[in-house]
Chains A and B, each alone.
Chain A
Amino acid sequence: MTRKSNIETGFDRRTVLKISAGVAVAGLAGALSSSIAQAADGIVALVHTQAAGDNGPVDSMIAKLKQLASEKGLTYRAIYAQDPATYETIFRTLGEAGASVVVSTFNEVAVPIKAVAPDFPDTKWIQLFGDAFEPPMPNVVTVSYDYYLGCYLSGIYAAGVSKTGKLGFIGGISIPPINADFNAFKAGAQSVNPDITATAAFAGSFQDPAKGQEIASQMFSDGIDYIQTDAAATDAGIIAAANEMEGRMVSALDPAQFDLGPKSLIAIVGLDFGASLYNEVTKALGPDFAGGQHVSTGLGTGVIDFKLSPVFTAKGPADIIAKSDKTWPDVEKARAAILDGSLKVPFNTAL
């Protein structure tokens, strides 16, 4: 029956399906490019290379981008670029669509930006969490964060509140800036007590809370009672492991995580990517844009700081709160010393 019908029409079922699929794909591509083109005037785009939903950097950047767009009447796009092979294509598409500002994140986008930015001189490019370009490009600003300084303060604090003298650090993947965060954390702790131990482990992903929970559970069972996280969405599993027993402490990344561990999430080394994006895009949209510059953001800028959780302070165990109160002046003292330059924290990327 099918064969007879094929002879009559000249098309078999597979051909019809292939044509339908082709038409659908072409239609989708057309709709997307049309959508970007319609919004080209003043479009501000964020190309994020980690998935949203991390209760951390990506979510805060998207939230601030929405806020900025609402305040200034801009059209914005938040695009998740999962595959490094697509970065350059996405940037080029945005450039061709006449985007006014394109923001992207982390070191892996440096090469694609270097390849695309010269072809679109009217588009301003901002790379958050990146190194300075050599040579500088007149329409590119790179921003780095001295997150390791916050981790150093966390180490000092951990040494004061830990009962076992065993600390842990869980990163997403082992890359130089995260290795430096661990070394600073360890150095901070050992500046208080040289006998304290700090153990690092990596989940191999920034989006695997189940793996984070596995690693944290093993660390806690080894007697570690304070873990500094550096793993984005993986953090949720680390906090879940800490929630299973009182006395386990975690320092994470973002204020949005406070409620995930009312009795375990004691502090954060806050890196407010959203505030940083807001500041840099605001500059790029105004007359203050200084292309070709590298901006280094550290303590005292409002973007990075070590902060206690108000939720834990209200609900945490009394003995830990007492230790925390006793330790906090040491943290304040170290922060002041870093800011006035009398304390230099080494940026050591070797593990």
Chain B
Amino acid sequence: MHDIIIAILRSGTPLIYVTLAAVIAQRAGIWHLGLEGLMIVGACATILTIVATGSVFIALCVAIVLCVLMSILFWFVVEKLKANQIIAGLGLTGLGLGGTAFAVEAIFGTQAAVSAEFGLPRIGPMFGSYGVLSILVVLMPVCVIFMWVLLRRTRFGLRLAASGEHPFAARSVGVRTDLMRLAALMIGGVLCAIGGAELAAGSLQIFSQNMTAGRGFMAFTAAIFGAGQPIGATLAAVFFAVVGAAGIRAQLVFGDRVPHDLLLGLPYIATIFGIWLSAKLRGGTKAVTGFGELRDS
């Protein structure tokens, strides 16, 4: 049982951090499809910097700075150049996936996977079998609660939601909606960097091309599944991690009787069912759409 919980925490933690980035972007009125790109940049920067400097702290700082810079670029393209959010987000993802492959080849002269001698600090043997988890796993619930307070119990959170849903109204009371979106994307950049760092250096200590394997898009889905609320989206991300682990368990238990392709598809079937159920339980209450009235300049 402990092994299953550890597996869920390991696979769920990077997803939760990136899901929180999707939530804050969505509340600011931005459909953020660049999460995958930011996450892989966070993963790549963390491992390459650990290899180069031997410092996890510097590695996290570099990852955060790069992801925040890319988030500012995304904001500039979407907000100032009025580019389509979906296209710009996909472009950011392409930039991240291609840019990291290019960086590895430019630095090491090969496209091979890069492994670091150590990764993020573990919580240690005093926690028994959970000691293999990284400190970012422990910080994750704190981060979720912080985001809930920030978005639901602060003036900033209210203004952010207003900037996303009703920018006219927000501007009429003096809110700079463009700067609110910039702040949201920058916070999201920090979260994506941490999510990428946890994915690559939490237990693997490896960076390989495309290693995010669609997790940025799963985080985007979790934010929708969770109705754009930090707690709800976190639970959705945990649900994805649970069905992922259950899919593996199903392969190991039923793999000799049921086709593996069907078992591999179970998490996706469960996800579709879960989204449908979640919409039903909300009784038609609309999630934060994020569309707002953005193009009103």
Question: A residues near B, CB below 8 A?
Answer: 13-14, 17, 51-55, 58-59, 62-63, 174, 199-202, 204-205, 207-211, 213-215, 217-219, 221-222, 233, 236-237, 240, 244, 256, 260, 351
Contact = CB atoms under 8 A, between A and B. Distances in A.
Which of A13, A14, A53, A204: most chain B CB closer than 10 A? Answer: A53
Interface stretch (B19-27, B252-260, B282-290): B252-260
Nearest to B129: A221
Greatest chain B CB density within 10 A among A211, A214, A237 is at: A214
B82 A14 contact: yes
A17 B80 CA distance: 12
Contacts of B252: 199, 201, 218-219, 222
A17 B205 CA distance: 41
A195 B59 CA distance: 49
Interface of B: 3-4, 6-7, 10-11, 14, 81-83, 101, 104, 110-113, 115, 132, 199, 203-206, 208-211, 213, 244-245, 248-249, 251-252, 255-256, 259-261, 264
B144 to A, nearest CB: 21
Given A199-B256, A201-B252, A237-B206, 12 more contacts: A13-B82, A51-B208, A58-B111, A201-B248, A205-B213, A210-B10, A214-B11, A217-B3, A233-B208, A237-B204, A240-B203, A256-B112
A62 B111 contact: yes
Contacts of A63: 110
A202 B264 contact: yes
Contacts of B259: 174, 351
**Chain A binding surface SS class:** helix
Contact of B208 (A17, A54, A200, A213): A54
B255 A59 contact: no
Contacts of A236: 113, 115, 204, 206, 208
A233 B10 CA distance: 19
Contacts of B205: 240
B79 to A, nearest CB: 13
Contacts of A59: 110-112
Given A17-B81, A210-B199, A214-B7, A260 B115 contact: yes
Given A59-B112, A200-B255, A217-B7, A210 B213 contact: yes
Nearest to A168: B252
Q: Closest 5 interchain pairs by CB? A: A52-B111, A221-B3, A53-B209, A208-B213, A201-B251
Contacts of A240: 203-206
B117 to A, nearest CB: 11
Contacts of A213: 10, 203-204
A219 B6 CA distance: 14
A304 B108 CA distance: 28
A13 B77 CA distance: 12
Nearest to A244: B132
Contacts of A210: 10-11, 14, 199, 204, 211, 213
A1 B211 CA distance: 47
Given A52-B111, A53-B111, A217 B210 contact: no
26 contacts: A13-B82, A14-B82, A17-B83, A51-B209, A52-B101, A52-B110, A53-B209, A59-B112, A62-B111, A174-B261, A201-B251, A201-B260, A202-B260, A207-B208, A207-B209, A207-B211, A209-B204, A210-B11, A210-B14, A214-B10, A214-B11, A217-B3, A218-B248, A218-B252, A237-B204, A240-B206
Nearest to B132: A244
Which of A59, A174, A210, A211 gathers the greatest number of chain B CB atoms within 10 Å? Answer: A210
A215 B247 CA distance: 10
A210 B261 CA distance: 19
Contacts of A53: 101, 104, 111-113, 208-209
A207 B213 contact: yes
Contacts of A200: 251, 255, 260
Contacts of B244: 211, 214
A105 to B, nearest CB: 15
A63 B111 CA distance: 10
Nearest to A217: B7
A218 B11 contact: no
B104 A218 contact: no
Given A55-B112, A236-B113, A214 B248 contact: yes
Contact of B6 (A54, A58, A217): A217
A218 B3 CA distance: 7
Contact of A52 (B4, B112, B132): B112
A204 B113 contact: no
Contacts of A215: 248, 251
B204 to A, nearest CB: 5
Contacts of A201: 248, 251-252, 255, 260
B264 to A, nearest CB: 5
A209 B115 CA distance: 12
Contacts of B206: 209, 236-237, 240
